[in-house]
Chains A and B, each alone.
Chain A
Amino acid sequence: MTSAKASPAPLGGGPPAGHVPIRGRGLLTLLLLGALTWSLTTVPWGEPLVHPGGLTVLGEMLVAALHPTVSAEFLGIALAASWRTVAYATAGVSLAILLAFPAGVLASGVLVRHPVLRALTSGASRALLGVLRAIHELVWALLFVAAIGLSPFAAVLALALPYAGILGRILAEILEDVPPGPLAALRAAGAREWQVLLYGRLPQAFPNMVSYALYRYECGIRSATIMSFVGLGGLGYQIQISLDDLRFREVWTFVYCLVVLVVLVDLWSGVIRRRLLA
């Protein structure tokens, strides 16, 4: 986490980047290597990797991959499940952006001049964002299902909170690291700090931010799929039902739907990115 910085130098000059000192890095590497070695000793190496019946099941699964269920009726179910997953992801990420915006701006500390006030507001927002993203969306989903039942709101909120934590933190960092020259020029033209935010920081942060939000949307589709395992409909839920009955051909239909969704989102965000950079 970056600490709040003093006002940048007038008309130019960049902030120095913080790094773990070399000596500390060596120590850290040693510790991590030690932990890895230790963890290897805890693996029961004697037992076979796959239990005997597992191999035949694996074979069945691979064969099913070539023959996914494609009946019209079943495709209807798959389409509805895909739609639901996209809807959760879209609503969740949209809500996350709405939450991340004010929190990210506060966390960046660029609006507050007074050093103590800035440390307080920025610290509080950073802590909040940290808590939001420290808890995985699957855990949020379990919490919300317990609190409000198997409702779409549970899915949307469970996705929105951790994603707001991630997007807000990234927004704060992008806002802080915007090139300072144009900002100083705006101040010289009489702009106050919130006008500098509107006319200088946000426009310069915009392409990066959109690009990152699109990437997060792609992640959101995958998260929404996994989240529905807790019983909130969608692709993951359907995969789970088919898997329980060992209907591998249906499982593959859903998996292919997921692949198509992710590829489509990737293509779409590619188009937008290219347009932004043009």
Chain B
Amino acid sequence: MFELVDATKRYGPLVALAPLSLTITAGERLALMGPSGSGKTTLLHLLAGVIQPDEGRVAIAGRSTETLRPGRDLARLVGVMAQGFDLVPSLAVVHNVLAGRLGEWGIGRSLLSLVFPRELPLAQAALNRVGVGTKLYERTARLSGGEQQRVALARLLVQQPRAILADEPVSSVDPARAEDLLTLLVEVAAEDGRTLIASMHAVPLALRYFSRVIALRHGHLVFDRATTAVTEADLTALYDLRQEEARDVR
């Protein structure tokens, strides 16, 4: 599904991602771990095709992201859930969900839908699926953070991409809700054999819900293992690294 060959990303002198090569097969559930600033978001953006590597290459479903301009083709392959959900706050929930169809819609339908929502059953079903079915016509800004997250997921449901990339999907919700949301995310991904890649802060959650873990630090790969093969030593190492990072910040 995804292939990175020596993909590198720099911001000025800062190496956000050192040359990284990896292959992600369809249907994998992959967690990205590492302290903040380690390059998780950068890697997700490279995988989503919204930024291009400075060196090396990134391919999605066999096509280089160089040739995959943002638009319908890319939207059919990957769906992104940004760290701040990034919904349009002043729109009704239904329009934020149906925005997942914009890649497929022409000008008439896009305009008309803002007045009389098109493909309403699709939006309703998606919202029911993520548990906020009653909020269809609510202004998005009025929803709680957790509800907005679910709306963002509903948008991905109507977009139907082959892979879902989520940036810290549970970092801003309390632990109980985090489990619910991850369960939902994993179920939704599993339904159509979608690939799921999420950056995660909490180690136990990452181990419980994902099949593979990639750990980064300062843009460098620390380890890349199946969840079952992650050892105490790996975790201690990562844990220590995180302590050190915390001290650096102070």
Which A residues are within 8 Å of any B CB, using their own CB?
10-12, 181-182, 184-192, 194-195, 198-200, 203-204, 206-207
Contacts and interface: CB of A to CB of B under 8 A. Distances in A.
Contact of A194 (B74, B75, B79, B107): B107
Interface in B94-124: 95, 99-100, 102-105, 107, 110-111, 114
A198 B86 contact: no
A188 B80 contact: yes
B226 interface: no
B106 to A, nearest CB: 10
B76 A190 contact: yes
Most-contacted residue by chain B among A188, A204, A206 (CB, 10 A): A188
A189 to B, nearest CB: 5
14 contacts: A11-B50, A182-B88, A182-B89, A186-B99, A187-B50, A188-B74, A189-B79, A189-B100, A190-B74, A190-B76, A194-B107, A195-B102, A195-B105, A199-B95
Contacts of A189: 75, 79-80, 99-100, 102-103, 155, 159
B130 interface: no
Nearest to A200: B88
Nearest to B100: A189
Given A198-B114, A199-B99, A190 B88 contact: no
Contacts, number: 87
A190 B50 contact: no
Contacts of A11: 45, 50, 80, 82, 86
Most-contacted residue by chain B among A186, A187, A190, A195 (CB, 10 A): A190
A151 to B, nearest CB: 36
A207 B139 CA distance: 13
A205 to B, nearest CB: 9
Given A11-B50, A191-B103, A199 B76 contact: no
A188 B71 CA distance: 7
Determine the main DSSP class of A at the interface with B. Answer: helix
A203 B48 contact: no
Most-contacted residue by chain A among B82, B95, B152 (CB, 10 A): B82
Interface string B52-73: 0000000000000000001110
Nearest to B48: A188
Interface size class of B (residues with CB under 8 A): 35 or more
Ranked nearest first, the 9 interchain pairs of A and B with the lowest CB-CB distance are: A190-B103, A190-B75, A185-B86, A191-B102, A10-B50, A181-B86, A188-B80, A182-B88, A203-B90
A200 B110 CA distance: 12
A127 B104 CA distance: 36
Interface in B2-41: none
B88 A203 contact: yes
A206 B90 contact: yes
B143 to A, nearest CB: 14
Nearest to B110: A195
A83 B123 CA distance: 47
Contacts of B80: 11, 185, 188-189
B162 to A, nearest CB: 13
Nearest to B155: A189
B103 A182 contact: no
B45 to A, nearest CB: 6
Nearest to A187: B70
A184 B74 CA distance: 13
B91 A10 contact: no
A206 to B, nearest CB: 6
B87 interface: yes
Contact of B87 (A185, A194, A207): A185
B246 interface: no
A188 B102 CA distance: 10
B110 A198 contact: yes
A256 B90 CA distance: 39
A197 to B, nearest CB: 10
B175 interface: no
A181 B85 CA distance: 9
A199 B87 contact: no
A275 to B, nearest CB: 12
A192 B107 CA distance: 10
B125 interface: no
Contacts of A10: 45, 50-51
A184 B44 CA distance: 14
Nearest to B158: A189
Contact of A192 (B71, B84, B86, B99): B71
Contacts of B114: 198-199
A79 B199 CA distance: 67
Contacts of B51: 10
